Amino acid sequence: MISAVKEFFGKYATFTGRTSRKTFWLTILGLFIIAFICGMIGGIIDSSRGLDPNAQTSTTTLISAVLSLVILVPSIAMCVRRLHDINKSGWLYLLCFVPIVGGIILLVFYCSPSVDEGNDY
């Protein structure tokens, strides 16, 4: 999992190439764990400062915003590389903007096995 997250940040803005299904899901798991830990740290800091947990200017909100900005570009790049791995165009990532149906279609694509023969990418 650590090597998958290292590769994720190592290929920060690489939209060419391929990402295997295993690497994709290990990276998702690693990022989830990182976000969970950052949220816990922010919550501990906020509670020690006596802040209201619902305050919009909390440390947790700030940490979440910074983390989201840091992983935005590499997340899109990884999703495009995963689409390339199943021989689909990276432009299909734009399906994420189609409510409900787009996300379901992308989830099915991300769970699909790799295509080795005849892959254009």
The answer to whether position 116 is within a domain reads: no
The answer to whether position 48 is within a domain reads: yes
Could you tell me the end-to-end alpha-carbon distance of the chain, in angstroms, rounded to an integer?
Answer: 24
Q: What was the pLDDT predicted at 101?
A: 95
Average pLDDT, the chain: 88
Cα gap 103→96, rounded to integer Å: 5
Q: What was the pLDDT predicted at 56?
A: 57
Enumerate residue ranges in the chain where pLDDT < 50: none
Helices and strands (H, E) in the chain, number of each type: 4, 0
Local structure of 81: helix, strand or coil: helix
Range of the domain at 64: 2-111
Cα gap 107→113, rounded to integer Å: 12
Q: How many distinct structural domains can be found in the chain?
A: 1
